[in-house]
Structure 1
Amino acid sequence: MLTVIGAGFPRTGTSSMKAALERLGFGPCHHMFDVGSNSDRAKRWAPLASHDTVPDWEYVLEGFRSSVDWPASFFWRELAEAYPEAKVVLTVRDPQSWFASMRTLIDNGPARLQSEKLAPEMAGLVENMMTTRPLLERMIREGLGSDSPFGVVPDEKETIAAFERHIVTVRESLPAERLLVFDVREGWEPLCRFLGVDVPEEEPFPHLNDSKMMEESIERLMKGEKVGLPFHPVE
């Protein structure tokens, strides 16, 4: 059962939030990394590409206590209704830097994964991406308001406008006592206060560079090296 629901768009510090929530005892925390690395998880999400699917959230998110990033955060409203006791965290960042990060994600993720020169070690990741592609396309279409083909960077002006609309919608849809609007640069204190837990002593807030991790991990995968998700090297 989820106790913390992430409502922020991808590239708004979601990797940092995953690490922070797990450090605070709200893990495991579901992230897009979990879909890309696990074929069973990808198959659980795939039917949600259709509006006709009635999600069984206990099945889709089995084993997780919190969630961040798409695909889960795309369904923030449904999850908030399904788990009325859960708290919601809306991660935010500067719109222009967010779009630049999205551009990096698309250029170094979907676009490259559709190329022909792929190492055999990438087969599982590519298969999982293809399994969830209809859902990803739905999220891009409805979340970003874009009809750009999968793997193509959408229009900057329209995408930033969608990003800003999303923030307003979430803020207006949930009571203040249930929602935290949070920039990961604020560190532990506002997050811990909101969740009612102690601030980790003498421990810095985890600031993970999503774009850098993605770029470096794709490079290693292209070379045939094993990579564990969320994009940490495998010994």
Structure 2
Amino acid sequence: MKVICAGLSKTGTKSMNEALNILGYKVYDLLENFEIFGKEWRKIIDGKAGVEEIRAMYKDIDAAMDVPIYSFWEMILEAFPDAKVILTVRDDEDKFCESMKTQLRKNNQIFKFLTLFSPTLRRFLNFCEDAGSRVFCNKIGRNIFTVSPKLNEELLKMCYRRHNAYVEKCCPPEQLLIFNCKDGWGPLCKFLNLPEPVGTFPRKNVEGNISTEYTQKRTFIRIKNEAMISIFLLVFTLLIFVVIILIACA
């Protein structure tokens, strides 16, 4: 592991993912963490595994981010003490809160529907909630990572401030970059000792549109297939039930 991205969700993590890929890093984001290391992370979240397991999991990965990385960044840094830490931030806590609300608003209804039919989606949301609750308290964690439309904005802002302050205080300063995606390639490439690539710094998940891209990922293809099969079986069962009633009444 060369780079630990400790910034919270909705602080430009998807843009940072794309930037690190452009720079040649092998990056694991939320879905890779869940799909490939879900069982291992479950043990870590439950306190049944730790630094040695993380070292074995990510020894061949260059960078990692999002859930559950920002919740366990200290443990990951202990596993890879020479890694550099990037704390992505927004302009201010209000921008962070508004971005989180936008993401929730876009995803809420479809997730609420699909959780009825997909065990993979329920497992995925539980994974996000349990890992994220180390940073976001349980009350707000449930709202962010499940399908509740309610959001305590002041508590969310407090969690954002607390997390960023803690990373800034506890990470060795020579290994930390506090980065806003508006800063562009310069500070990032200087921090990583790499030449700046041609082109502007990438912008991903603008206005919460990452959901469209996620539909092409393995986990969400499985979620869609589970939902389709479950709905088909439900409709088929209802039809059989109706036919039985009609026959009985004939």
TM-score range normalised by the length of the shorter chain: 0.7 to 0.9
1:6-28 CA distance string (max 9 Å, x none)? 010011100110111111122x1
Task: Please tell me the residue identity of whatever aligns with 1:45.
Answer: W
SS of the counterpart of 2:209? helix
The reply to whether residue 4 of structure 1 matches residue 3 of structure 2 is: yes
Q: TM-score, normalised by structure 1?
A: 0.79
- Structure 1 runs of 4+ with >6 Å offset: none
Distance 1:110 1:96, change over 3 A: same
Whether contact under 8 Å (1:6, 1:67) holds in the other structure is yes
Query: Which of residues 141, 144, 147 in structure 1 aligns to 2:136?
Result: 144
Structure 2 counterpart SS, 1:97: helix
Report how far residue 85 of structure 1 moved: 0.6
CA distance in 2, matches of 1:133, 1:61: 22
Checking the alignment, whether the CA contact within 8 Å between 2:84 and 2:176 is kept in structure 1 is yes
Contact residue 106 and residue 208 of structure 2 kept, 8 A: no
CA distance in 1, matches of 2:204, 2:183: 14
SS of residue paired to 1:169: helix
State the SS of the aligned residue for 1:138: helix
1:43 aligns with 2:35: no
Identical residues among aligned pairs (%): 26
CA contact (8 A) 2:55 2:80 kept: no
CA contact (8 A) 1:5 1:76 kept: yes
Listed as ranges, the gaps of 5+ residues in structure 1 are 222-226
Judging changes above 3 Å, is the alpha-carbon distance between structure 1 residues 138 and 22 closer, same or farther for their aligned structure 2 residues? same
Cα contact 1:146–1:159 (8 A) shared by 2: no
State whether residues 192 and 199 of structure 1, in contact with CA within 8 Å, keep that contact through their aligned partners in structure 2.
yes
Residues 137-146 or 82-91, more deviating? 137-146
With over 3 angstroms needed to count, the CA separation of the structure-2 counterparts of 1:180 and 1:198, relative to structure 1, is same
- Evaluate the alpha carbon distance shift between residue 116 and residue 168 of structure 1 in structure 2; reply closer, same or farther with a 3 A threshold: closer
Residue equivalent to 2:66: 69
What runs of 5+ residues in structure 2 fail to find an aligned partner? 221-250
Q: What whole-Å deviation, never above 9, does each CA across 1:145-193 have from its counterpart, x for those lacking one?
A: 2424333243100110110011111111022211000001100000000
Match of 2:183 in 1: 186
Among residues 192, 196, 200, which one is paired with 1:204 in the alignment?
Answer: 200
Match of 1:131 among 123, 126, 131: 123
Q: Name the counterpart of 1:113.
A: 111
In the aligned structure 2, how far is the partner of 1:4 from the partner of 1:166?
Answer: 18
After TM superposition, give the deviation of residue 116 of structure 1 in Å: 4.9
| Correspondence list, 1:16-35, <5 A | 16-26=15-25, 28-35=26-33
Offset at residue 204 of structure 1 (A): 1.0
Mapped partners of 1:97, 1:107: distance in 2: 15
Higher helix share: 2
Structure 1 counterpart of 2:14:
15
Q: RMSD in angstroms over aligned alpha carbons?
A: 2.7
Instruction: Tell me, yes or no, if structure 1 residue 83 matches structure 2 residue 80.
Output: yes
Q: How big is each residue's C-alpha offset from its partner over 1:179-211, in whole Å with a ceiling of 9 and x where there is no partner?
A: 00000110000000001011113x111111254
- 1:162 lines up with 2:152 in the alignment: no
Per the TM alignment, residue 83 of structure 1 is displaced from its structure 2 partner at its CA by 0.6
**Counterpart position of 2:50:** 54
Larger radius of gyration: 2
TM-score (norm 2): 0.74
